[in-house]
């Protein structure tokens, strides 16, 4: 980590985002935008920039620097990086880092964005932000690719014709002026999750000035059920924020809370910290997961109860009843009255034993237990979970309550539809949402929207809604817009642009201001004005700069104290019903593209799901037994029918899924979005119903034909079809076993250490520092953030579904997933990140005929791309199969805009060349150079972070000098759990693993 | 068989050349087909071979243009048909060298009828083989990095890599084989020159005959050179495939990392080579009416070598399994059980049936003496030996140490066209060979005629035939 990383610099020269930026840099596209950023250098790398264009750009830059030459083609807009008068701190080729914030639904994360010569290229977590703690999710990592997506909307569209911004604004004004004139009569503003205090204030103001206007919330990532559940427990706008930091008994009800749902980055960190066993007095937390989906969170569970989605509530009823019966349980206001409402849940022996043991465990760890509920479950389940939390004294400890006082109370899409149908809504302005695609299937929203007389849509893509809107406007990406966000826990942070808008697009807050006033107001002014007002009228410039610097707005969180009470809850709990027969369809956010917003992001499409290892598609996931009873094999089509609609999609056998349940990941089957999303998967939204968002009853029958699903593990037929001895690649033990036998990892070795001898001398490594890595499998959740960070850092190409089907994916670090256990449908799972192990006696090196891969003095297995002729012998001889070959020229046709994402410190590999993980050798070199300049040849521990390590939410990956006994990596490697894969081959890998420890409840073993 | 009872009057053994052919008759039998005027059938065969060669060129062009990805290779399986074909063709070459060099040193006179075509086959097979390591690299235009050429980067190739050894081994093999073949051709080229009826032939053969006039000095130098080259080629028979096997044996992949590979590969190479000689000569002896020169006895002898080497190969298969079990190494034993019962079991059992079971039929004399059955059998062996290399290369790669990375190899149409195309090159060369060069080593085969023996006395005619005298001198030398 460089100095700039520790102390992210903020922009000094970006003073105002003039409205001119909205008006001028339009159809001209990236060149214009680049000229605005005066960042000619970045654009010069673009193919096809002629000398003439070059001169023109330079001229524009000079003109900008000349400040305000009247009569120019464009008015001088704010200068972000005026090259003619280079800022003192800007060294070409040396990245600078800016703090910003990233929002996904209601989840907010602080990020630090790496800026290479004026181009944002890489996202890191902001170490100062409590929701990121330096880590970034795979979504945040991939968002930078989305920013440069060449298929993002670039120009406004009016009725199927691209138009200029001037014409677009005229049409926009014409469309909404009547509504504005009549106090918002017939106007509906559809927004996605609004976590921006500024935007919330704007919308509140809009409601005041245009009282008849409706504000509609449409966002699949908005935790509507959690919000409703919290409201049932503690009144409107109440928010319950769980924290795993001190939680010792964690119960997750049907939700992927460690990877893809909600504040997963923070939860994963806290969860992993709570599982530390190499500490003086280890007190491991225990994770219970109840639900139908076998996702990454379920794979981390110490105990998993496989139940159908509709039975999760039943189990929770049983748990609350069991808690009430458990001696020593705490009390919750109004909880006693619930007993009647809970009825007698139908739990079989196994489930009854589970809830009983769980209740005892929770009560034993009163104040340290927490129940978390996934968004698929209805509000009453969330509320009932809060009852359980209150009963075990979680409130104020593992669950903090606050009142989100400025929370937006938007109408639902059903209400909007009713308005459209009865003619009370005529004008619809959609900001960032895409209801035509993701509205519940039974709403028939598209048909209703067609009745509106004017529909304006602003979005990153001209998506399904944009295509039917009368007017489509490109929306600014968060990397090119001003803004702010406040997390559910109340932490506010700023969003600052890293580059002038590529296509001159406005942001949501700028558009909202347009709706309200008809005038263009720069987002910068809007945000500053809001915070000036919030600060009592004036904004201290020093404070503003401090906020920009750290990304965090250090104002008190405030808000009234909230205590839940459950007196009214009984009425909201449905009568206990026996489990229904038949199939259930569970609508899950896809672990990669979520609700479909990342459908055109190649990195995420090609990212294998942690558990299923599916890429580029979704499928109806079902258990082996269910597949057997349906008579389908993986890839065979099944027809799923719900009350809302029906659909044929391929089946995939996913061990661990509840019986008679199909898991249908959302977000696929996009039409006309872009070439990446084009043929990826099947749209399951038409099967969803507005009444029950997360799951519904369904019928499933075998369909006709097969479909090729690209998976990165079990490519094709992997299993040889006979039993073979297990291989000790991932090692694990229970905590008790670990206590009895701390060196249990040694027992798994195929060959005793003293028997491993070599007739050859060990190679000598003469550098003063020797790099190594340790990966803690006890912490790794398999969230894929490392793979994504590696993609961004190392310019790893996307190869496409056809190539993945052939087994040619390029990821340098992959997550291996192995199921554990003998029952195919009640598995546990372990995950293991595998990158190049940097063997000291690397087998790849001896076999390369041209010496293209050799060892560096500091112990790295280097790869000289220029020397490689591509015999692939190295990959054959690599027992870890981490080498990746460029079978085609995957980097041949990179769009000029997409080229801007590439990391200039890493070579783009040509076809026919082998590539692999380098421990981010460019980062090592940078740190070593910095150390040399500072007069030492030793890099301080922790200065170098590999990309995977830096972004890892759980801190599972540690990198450093293995010669220094006090380095973090050495200390981690000193753990008794430390082992290397395939030790019997005597390769002496520099990457070692720490075995996973499970913490089962003795009562349930 | 009546013919077999007719013994060589001098040695008292069955004659190697049947039908009481004289020196002149031999020359006529071999050279006349090359001088005939009706080449329609040849043109058909040549056009067919040439079209396959065109297919090869198209496949290679597309490969260089588009990338290795046009083949079915993937992440675990980095080597596929290209390497399989390489080993297959190199292996085939071995029979020719064994026949011409080792059997020469061991004075196996029967080799003279077949050594010319077998050697030609060697050259052409090695040419086919050499294509594959050349084109299978990702950046063909950089393949010269493999050669120890002094360069401004002061970079040597990596001498520890078996692939580099391959470059030297196969390069040497090709050079020595070519020289050996050419030296052996000299007297026959001169014969062709002397028989030539057209100017083009006269000049063409004249140039390549290097002024051979059949003088004593010529014969003396020739004999010495031939002997030295035979001596040089003999170790190559063993070393080339040993080194090819190192490509596998030196790696650490279960299924590749085995010490039995060198002898096993050499046996396999000779096995496949003899099968290919049979495949070529059984039709050729009929087409070119050479049944009296390439006799049933020749076929029988070759069949016996096939039986021997086939059994050796079978033994190696069994020994691999035994050692895999005996080593106690779970990944090693898995690799072999997986071969026989895993996803590639089909390939394994094709290999075993063709290579181990089929040759055992040769124990039966009827089989040995039936050209038709031997021809079919040789095709089986060819198929089996191709699959042997496929099984070794692909199954070991597809399922190695980390089950997470296991894959399955599926060839593409371009794998197939490249392989078929290499046969195009082989047969094109063979067509040119049979048209322009004597298929049988005339000078050598004459030495095994009874007439060539100084003690030979013609039954009734005591006249000094000049051919007889010349041949007699040869055998003295």
The band of A47, judged by pLDDT with boundaries at 50, 70 and 90, is very low
A830 within 8 A of A996, measured Cβ to Cβ? yes
Tell if the CB–CB gap between A849 and B78 is shorter than 8 Å.
no
Number of A:B CB contacts under 8 A? 191
Tell me how far apart the alpha carbons of residues A879 and B76 are, in angstroms, rounded to a whole number: 10
pLDDT of A1003 strictly over 70:
yes
Average confidence (pLDDT) over A556-578: 81
Alpha carbon dihedral A78, A83, A84, A85, in 10-degree steps, equals 80
Q: Which residues contact A5 (CB under 8 A, 6 or more apart)?
A: A97, A112, A124
From A729, which residue of chain B is nearest by alpha-carbon distance? B402
Look at residue A123 in the predicted model and tell me its pLDDT.
93
Tell if the CB–CB gap between B158 and A848 is shorter than 8 Å.
yes
**Predicted TM-score (pTM) of this structure:** 0.87
Which of B69, B77, B157 has its CB closest to that of A850?
Answer: B157
pLDDT of A24 strictly over 90:
no
Tell me how far apart the alpha carbons of residues B63 and B302 are, in angstroms, rounded to a whole number: 38
Q: Which of A77, A166, A17 is nearest to A521 (CA)?
A: A17
What mean pLDDT, rounded, does chain B reach?
87
Chain B residues 272-331 with CB within 8 Å of chain A: 329-331
Percent of chain B at pLDDT exceeding 70 = 93
Percent of chain A at pLDDT exceeding 70 = 90
Q: Which residues contact A67 (CB under 8 A, 6 or more apart)?
A: A76
Q: Nearest C-alpha of chain A: how many angstroms from B326? A: 15
Tell if the CB–CB gap between B78 and A872 is shorter than 8 Å.
yes
Tell if the CB–CB gap between B76 and A807 is shorter than 8 Å.
yes
Average confidence (pLDDT) over B87-99: 89
The band of B272, judged by pLDDT with boundaries at 50, 70 and 90, is very high
Q: Nearest C-alpha of chain B: how many angstroms from A608? A: 13
Look at residue B459 in the predicted model and tell me its pLDDT.
65
Most confident of A11-15, A22-26, A616-620: A616-620
Tell if the CB–CB gap between A722 and B402 is shorter than 8 Å.
no
Q: How many other CB atoms sit within 10 Å of the CB of residue B215?
A: 9
Lowest mean pLDDT across A126-130, B213-217, B463-467? B463-467
User: Given CA atoms A537, A540, A544, A547 in this order, what sign does their dihedral have?
Assistant: negative
Q: Which residues contact A895 (CB under 8 A, 6 or more apart)?
A: A150
* CA-to-CA separations, A331 to A340, A368, A394, A515, A569, in angstroms, rounded: 17, 15, 11, 49, 15
pLDDT of B210 strictly over 60:
yes
N-term to C-term CA, chain B: 35
Look at residue A278 in the predicted model and tell me its pLDDT.
84
Q: Nearest C-alpha of chain B: how many angstroms from A486? A: 41
Tens-place pLDDT, residues A432-482: 999 999 898 888 899 999 989 999 999 999 999 999 999 999 999 999 999
Tell if the CB–CB gap between B78 and A873 is shorter than 8 Å.
yes
Look at residue B411 in the predicted model and tell me its pLDDT.
93
* CA-to-CA separations, A341 to A691, A769, B94, in angstroms, rounded: 22, 66, 87
Tell me how far apart the alpha carbons of residues B23 and B214 are, in angstroms, rounded to a whole number: 15
Cβ-Cβ contacts under 8 Å, A807 against chain B: 74-77, 407-408
Interface test with A, best of B78, B157, B336 (most A CBs within 10 A): B78
Q: Which of A292, A382, A335, A296 is nearest to A815 (CA)?
A: A296
Q: What share of chain A is helix, strand, coil (3-state, %, to 5)?
A: 30, 20, 50
Cβ-Cβ contacts under 8 Å, B162 against chain A: 847
Look at residue A488 in the predicted model and tell me its pLDDT.
87
N-term to C-term CA, chain A: 45
Interface test with A, best of B141, B154, B243, B252 (most A CBs within 10 A): B252
Tell if the CB–CB gap between B145 and A850 is shorter than 8 Å.
yes
Q: Which residues contact B84 (CB under 8 A, 6 or more apart)?
A: B386, B389, B390, B393, B394
Tell me how far apart the alpha carbons of residues A5 and A134 are, in angstroms, rounded to a whole number: 11
Angle at A94 between CA A91 and CA A100, to 5 degrees: 105
Q: Does B407 touch chain A (CB under 8 A)?
A: yes
pLDDT of A83 strictly over 80:
no
Tell me how far apart the alpha carbons of residues A257 and B179 are, in angstroms, rounded to a whole number: 74
Average confidence (pLDDT) over B19-30: 77
Average confidence (pLDDT) over A647-654: 92
Phi, psi of B440 (to 5 degrees): -115, 140
pLDDT of A17 strictly over 50:
no
Q: Does B33 touch chain A (CB under 8 A)?
A: no
* CA-to-CA separations, A636 to A646, A662, A666, B171, in angstroms, rounded: 16, 14, 19, 51
Cβ-Cβ contacts under 8 Å, A813 against chain B: none
Tens-place pLDDT, residues A723-778: 677 788 889 999 999 999 999 999 888 888 888 888 888 888 989 999 999 999 99
Tens-place pLDDT, residues A487-500: 888 889 999 998 88
Tell me how far apart the alpha carbons of residues A25 and B438 are, in angstroms, rounded to a whole number: 79
Average confidence (pLDDT) over B256-274: 91
Look at residue B407 in the predicted model and tell me its pLDDT.
87
The band of A716, judged by pLDDT with boundaries at 50, 70 and 90, is very low
Which of A714, A716, A721 has its CB closest to that of B341?
Answer: A721
Q: Which of A119, A120, A121, A99 is nearest to A110 (CA)?
A: A99
Q: Does B270 touch chain A (CB under 8 A)?
A: no
From A981, which residue of chain B is nearest by alpha-carbon distance? B402
Q: Is B275 exposed, middle or buried (0-12, 13-18, 19+ CB in 10 A)?
A: buried
Interface test with B, best of A869, A891, A980 (most B CBs within 10 A): A869
From A854, which residue of chain B is nearest by alpha-carbon distance? B158
Cβ-Cβ contacts under 8 Å, A885 against chain B: 68, 73, 75, 78, 138
Q: Nearest C-alpha of chain B: how many angstroms from A999? A: 26
Average confidence (pLDDT) over B288-298: 85
Look at residue A650 in the predicted model and tell me its pLDDT.
95
Look at residue B154 in the predicted model and tell me its pLDDT.
85
Cβ-Cβ contacts under 8 Å, B244 against chain A: none
Q: Does B197 touch chain A (CB under 8 A)?
A: no
Q: Does A870 touch chain B (CB under 8 A)?
A: yes
What mean pLDDT, rounded, does chain A reach?
86
Lowest mean pLDDT across A110-124, A327-341, B150-164, B444-458? B444-458
Chain A residues 740-759 with CB within 8 Å of chain B: 750
Tell if the CB–CB gap between B139 and A849 is shorter than 8 Å.
no
The band of A86, judged by pLDDT with boundaries at 50, 70 and 90, is low
Tell me how far apart the alpha carbons of residues A521 and A310 are, in angstroms, rounded to a whole number: 48
Look at residue B285 in the predicted model and tell me its pLDDT.
87
Tell if the CB–CB gap between A982 and B401 is shorter than 8 Å.
yes
Tell if the CB–CB gap between B408 and A715 is shorter than 8 Å.
yes
Tell if the CB–CB gap between B158 and A911 is shorter than 8 Å.
no
Q: Which of A361, A358, A360, A362 is nearest to A398 (CA)?
A: A362
Complex ipTM over 0.95: no
Q: Does B152 touch chain A (CB under 8 A)?
A: no
Tell me how far apart the alpha carbons of residues B437 and B123 are, in angstroms, rounded to a whole number: 14
Q: Nearest C-alpha of chain A: how many angstroms from B28? A: 50
Average confidence (pLDDT) over B190-212: 90
Tens-place pLDDT, residues A882-902: 999 999 999 888 888 888 899
Q: Are strands A187-191 and A427-431 parallel, antiparallel or unpaired?
A: parallel
Look at residue B461 in the predicted model and tell me its pLDDT.
54
Look at residue B6 in the predicted model and tell me its pLDDT.
62
Tell if the CB–CB gap between B145 and A847 is shorter than 8 Å.
no
pLDDT of A319 strictly over 60:
yes
């Amino acid at each position: 980590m460089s100095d700039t990383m520790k102390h992210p610099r903020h922009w000094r020269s970006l003073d105002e985002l003039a409205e001119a930026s909205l008006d001028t840099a339009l159809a001209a596209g990236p060149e214009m935008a680049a000229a605005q950023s005066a960042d000619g250098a970045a654009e010069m790398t673009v193919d096809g920039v002629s000398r003439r264009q070059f001169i023109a750009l330079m001229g524009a830059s000079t003109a900008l620097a000349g400040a305000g030459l009247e009569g120019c083609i464009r008015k001088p807009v704010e200068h972000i990086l005026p090259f003619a008068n280079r800022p003192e701190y800007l060294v070409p080729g040396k990245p600078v880092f800016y703090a910003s914030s990233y929002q996904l639904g209601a989840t907010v994360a602080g990020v630090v964005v790496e800026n290479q010569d004026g181009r944002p290229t890489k996202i890191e977590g902001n170490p100062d932000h409590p929701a990121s703690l330096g880590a970034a999710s795979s979504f945040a990592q991939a968002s930078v690719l989305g920013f440069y997506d060449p298929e993002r909307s670039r120009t406004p569209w009016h009725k199927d014709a691209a138009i200029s911004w001037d014409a677009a604004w005229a049409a926009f004004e014409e469309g909404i002026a009547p509504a504005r004139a009549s106090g918002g009569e017939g106007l509906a503003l559809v927004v996605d999750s609004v976590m921006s205090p500024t935007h919330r204030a704007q919308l509140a103001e809009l409601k005041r000035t245009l009282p008849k206007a409706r504000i509609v919330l449409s966002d699949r990532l908005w935790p509507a059920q959690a919000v409703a559940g919290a409201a049932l427990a503690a009144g409107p706008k109440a928010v319950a924020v769980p924290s795993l930091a001190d939680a010792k008994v964690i119960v997750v009800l049907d939700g992927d809370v460690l990877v893809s749902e909600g504040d997963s980055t923070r939860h994963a960190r806290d969860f992993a910290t709570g599982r530390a066993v190499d500490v003086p007095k280890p007190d491991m937390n225990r994770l219970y997961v109840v639900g139908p989906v076998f996702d990454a969170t379920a794979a981390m569970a110490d105990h998993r109860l496989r139940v159908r989605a509709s039975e999760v509530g039943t189990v929770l009823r049983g748990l609350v009843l069991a808690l009430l019966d458990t001696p020593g349980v705490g009390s919750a206001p109004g909880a006693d009255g619930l007993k009647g409402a809970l009825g007698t849940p139908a739990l079989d022996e196994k489930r009854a034993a589970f809830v009983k043991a769980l209740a005892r465990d929770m009560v034993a760890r009163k104040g340290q237990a927490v129940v978390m509920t996934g968004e698929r479950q209805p509000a009453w389940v969330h509320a009932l979970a809060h009852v359980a939390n209150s009963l075990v004294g979680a409130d104020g400890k593992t669950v903090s309550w606050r009142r989100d006082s400025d929370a937006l109370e938007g109408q639902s899409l059903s209400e909007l539809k009713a308005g459209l149908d009865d003619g009370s809504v005529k004008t619809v302005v959609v900001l960032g949402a895409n209801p035509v695609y993701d509205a519940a299937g039974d709403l028939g929203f598209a048909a209703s929207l067609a009745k509106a007389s004017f529909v304006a849509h602003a979005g990153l893509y001209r998506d399904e809604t944009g295509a039917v809107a009368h007017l489509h406007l490109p929306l600014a990406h968060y990397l090119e817009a001003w803004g702010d966000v406040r997390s559910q826990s109340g932490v506010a942070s700023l969003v600052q642009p890293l580059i002038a808008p590529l296509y001159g697009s406005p942001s949501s807050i700028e558009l909202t201001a347009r709706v309200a006033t008809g005038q263009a107001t720069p987002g910068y002014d809007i945000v500053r004005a809001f915070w000036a007002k919030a600060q009592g009228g004036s904004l201290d410039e020093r404070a503003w700069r401090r906020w920009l610097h750290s990304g965090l707005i250090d104002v008190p969180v405030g808000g009234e104290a909230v205590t839940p009470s459950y007196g009214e809850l009984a009425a909201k709990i449905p009568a206990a019903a026996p489990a229904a027969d038949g199939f259930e369809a569970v609508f899950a956010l896809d672990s990669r593209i979520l609700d479909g917003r990342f459908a055109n992001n190649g990195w995420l499409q090609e990212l294998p799901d942690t558990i299923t290892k599916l890429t580029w598609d979704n499928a109806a996931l079902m258990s082996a037994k269910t597949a057997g009873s349906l008579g389908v094999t993986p890839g065979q089509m099944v027809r799923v029918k719900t009350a809302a609609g029906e659909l044929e999609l391929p089946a995939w056998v996913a061990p661990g899924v509840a019986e008679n349940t199909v898991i249908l990941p959302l977000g696929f089957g996009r039409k006309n979005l872009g070439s990446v999303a084009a043929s990826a998967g099947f749209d399951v939204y038409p099967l969803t119903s507005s009444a029950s968002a997360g799951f519904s009853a369904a019928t499933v029958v075998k369909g006709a034909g097969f479909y090729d699903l690209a998976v990165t593990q079990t490519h094709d037929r992997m299993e040889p079809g006979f039993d073979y001895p297990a291989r000790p690649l991932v090692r694990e033990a229970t905590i008790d076993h670990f206590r009895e036998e701390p060196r249990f990892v040694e027992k798994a070795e195929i060959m005793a250490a003293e028997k491993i001898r070599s007739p050859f001398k060990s190679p000598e490594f003469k550098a003063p520092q020797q790099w190594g890595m340790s990966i803690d499998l006890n912490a790794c959740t398999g969230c894929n953030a490392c793979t994504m960070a590696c993609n961004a850092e190392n310019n790893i190409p996307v190869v496409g579904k056809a190539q993945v089907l052939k087994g040619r994916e390029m990821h340098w670090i992959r997550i291996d997933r192995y199921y554990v256990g003998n029952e195919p449908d009640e598995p546990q799972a372990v995950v293991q990140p595998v990158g190049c192990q940097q063997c000291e006696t690397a087998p790849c090196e001896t076999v390369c005929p041209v010496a293209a891969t050799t060892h560096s003095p500091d112990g790295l297995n280097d790869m000289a791309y220029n020397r490689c002729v591509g015999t692939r012998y190295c990959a054959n001889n690599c027992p870890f199969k981490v080498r990746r070959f460029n079978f085609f020229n995957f980097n041949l046709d990179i769009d000029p805009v997409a080229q801007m994402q590439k990391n200039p410190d890493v070579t783009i590999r040509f076809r026919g060349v082998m590539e692999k993980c380098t421990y981010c050798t460019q980062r090592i070199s940078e740190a070593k150079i910095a150390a040399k300049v500072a007069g030492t040849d030793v890099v301080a521990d922790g200065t170098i972070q590999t990309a995977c390590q830096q972004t890892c939410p759980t801190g599972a990956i540690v990198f450093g000098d293995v010669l220094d006994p006090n380095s973090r990596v050495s200390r981690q490697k000193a753990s008794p759990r430390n082992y290397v894969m395939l030790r019997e081959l005597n390769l002496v890998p520099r990457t070692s693993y720490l075995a996973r420890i499970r913490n089962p409840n003795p009562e349930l073993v | 068989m009546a013919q077999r009872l007719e013994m060589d009057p001098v040695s008292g053994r069955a004659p190697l050349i049947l039908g009481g052919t004289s020196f002149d008759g031999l020359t006529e039998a071999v050279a006349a087909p090359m001088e005939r005027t009706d080449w329609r059938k040849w043109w058909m065969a040549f056009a067919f071979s040439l079209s396959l060669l065109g297919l090869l060129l198209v496949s290679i062009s597309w490969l260089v243009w588009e990338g290795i990805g046009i083949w079915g290779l993937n992440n675990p399986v980095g080597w596929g048909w290209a390497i399989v074909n390489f080993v297959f063709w190199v292996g085939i070459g071995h029979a020719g060298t064994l026949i011409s060099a080792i059997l020469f040193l061991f004075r196996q006179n029967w080799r003279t009828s077949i050594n010319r075509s077998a050697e030609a086959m060697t050259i052409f097979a090695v040419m086919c083989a050499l294509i594959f390591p050349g084109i299978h690299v990702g950046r063909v235009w950089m393949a010269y990095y493999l050669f120890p050429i002094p360069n401004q980067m002061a970079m040597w190739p990596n001498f520890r890599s078996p692939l580099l050894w391959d470059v030297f081994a196969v390069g040497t093999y090709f050079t020595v084989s070519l020289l050996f073949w050419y030296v052996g051709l000299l007297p026959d080229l001169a014969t062709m020159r002397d028989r030539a009826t057209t100017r083009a032939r006269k000049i063409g053969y004249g140039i390549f005959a290097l002024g051979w006039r059949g003088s004593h000095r010529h014969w003396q130098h020739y004999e010495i050179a031939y002997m030295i080259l035979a001596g040089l080629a003999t170790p190559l028979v063993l070393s080339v495939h040993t080194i090819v096997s190192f490509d596998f044996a030196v790696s650490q992949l279960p299924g590749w990392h085995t010490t039995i590979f060198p002898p096993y590969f050499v046996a396999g190479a000779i096995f496949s080579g003899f099968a290919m000689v049979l495949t070529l000569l059984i039709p050729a002896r009929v087409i070119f009416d050479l049944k009296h020169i390439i006799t049933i006895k020749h076929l029988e002898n070759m069949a016996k070598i096939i039986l021997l080497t086939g059994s050796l190969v079978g033994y190696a298969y069994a020994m691999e399994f035994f050692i895999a079990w005996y080593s106690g190494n779970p990944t090693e034993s898995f690799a072999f059980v997986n071969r026989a019962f895993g996803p590639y079991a089909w390939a394994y059992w094709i290999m075993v049936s063709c290579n181990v079971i089929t040759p055992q039929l040769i124990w039966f004399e009827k089989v040995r003496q039936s050209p038709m059955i031997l021809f079919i059998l040789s095709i089986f062996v060819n198929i089996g030996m191709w699959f042997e290399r496929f099984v070794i290369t692909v199954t070991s790669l597809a399922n190695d140490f980390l089950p997470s990375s296991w894959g399955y190899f599926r060839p593409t149409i371009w794998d197939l066209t490249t392989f078929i195309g290499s046969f195009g090159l082989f047969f094109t060369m063979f067509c040119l060979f049979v048209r322009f060069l004597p298929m049988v080593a005339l000078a050598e085969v004459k030495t095994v005629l009874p007439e060539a023996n100084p003690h030979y006395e013609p039954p009734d005619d005591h006249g000094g035939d000049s051919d007889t005298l010349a041949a007699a001198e040869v055998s003295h030398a």
